[in-house]
């Protein structure tokens, strides 16, 4: 039994090394430039070993997408549940989910890049059932509908507004990740100010 558990642990460790190496290579060199051999060289294993865990490069991408999607959705749902438990109104819950989006990107820049910038889903599509991006958009839409019903946001096309909110959040997150912004205050203040100001414009 101990022998089996040790083999399982070793197998999981190798799989994790493959995923982490691939994640770094895809982001630094681009999908087209990365081969299974390059991934193997990165972790000093033979290509044969890599193929034991993943059939091809697309399978590695899919694993990365599934993992990133799960982490993203978990981050949003956790913050939403905390906001609901605290008894926050619909508008404040919406701001909380928006804040969670930006915080996820800052805490997980590589996964954010994979999910929202590199567009690796075009290489290895993820079903809507597994897509954290799609479910995250649904959370945003549901939050907007609740805020409209509450009367704190103007009654408009929630899908159009959701796309606008997502655009704002993506732009803010991308700026924070890729540029040194010339600001005198902290990123926390910038995030809060941007989200508050944006939603104030949608308020009645």
Specify whether the CB–CB gap between 142 and 84 falls below 8 A.
Answer: no
Tell which residue, 113, 124, 131, has the closest CA to residue 55.
124
d(CA 123, CA 127): 13
Residue 79 has a pLDDT of: 95
Full-model pTM: 0.84
Residue 168 has a pLDDT of: 96
Tell which residue, 32, 30, 48, 28, has the closest CA to residue 40.
48
**87-105 tens-digit pLDDT:** 999 999 999 999 999 999 9
**In the chain, what percentage of residues exceed pLDDT 70?**
89
b/e map 152-185, b = 16+ CB within 10 Å: bbeeeebeebbeebbebbbebbeebeeeeeeeee
Q: What confidence category does residue 183 fall into, taking pLDDT thresholds of 50, 70 and 90? A: low
């Amino acid at each position: 039994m101990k022998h089996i558990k040790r083999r399982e642990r070793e197998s999981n460790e190798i799989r994790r090394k493959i995923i982490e190496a691939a994640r770094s290579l895809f982001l630094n060199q681009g999908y087209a430039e990365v081969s299974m051999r390059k991934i193997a060289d990165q972790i000093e294993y033979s290509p044969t070993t890599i193929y034991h865990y993943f059939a091809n490069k697309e399978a590695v991408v899919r694993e990365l997408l599934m993992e990133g999607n799960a982490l993203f959705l978990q981050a949003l749902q956790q913050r939403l549940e905390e906001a609901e438990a605290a008894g926050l109104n619909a508008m404040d819950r919406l701001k909380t989910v928006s804040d969670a989006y930006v915080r996820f990107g800052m805490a997980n820049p590589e996964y954010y890049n994979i999910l929202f910038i590199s567009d690796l889903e075009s290489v290895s599509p993820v079903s809507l059932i597994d897509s954290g991006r799609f479910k995250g958009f649904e959370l945003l839409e549901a939050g907007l509908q609740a805020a409209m019903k509450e009367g704190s946001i103007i009654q408009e096309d929630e899908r159009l507004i959701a796309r606008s909110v997502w655009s704002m959040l993506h732009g803010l997150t991308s700026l924070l990740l890729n540029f040194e912004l010339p600001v005198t205050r902290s990123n926390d203040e910038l995030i809060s100010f941007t989200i508050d100001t944006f939603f104030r414009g949608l308020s009645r």
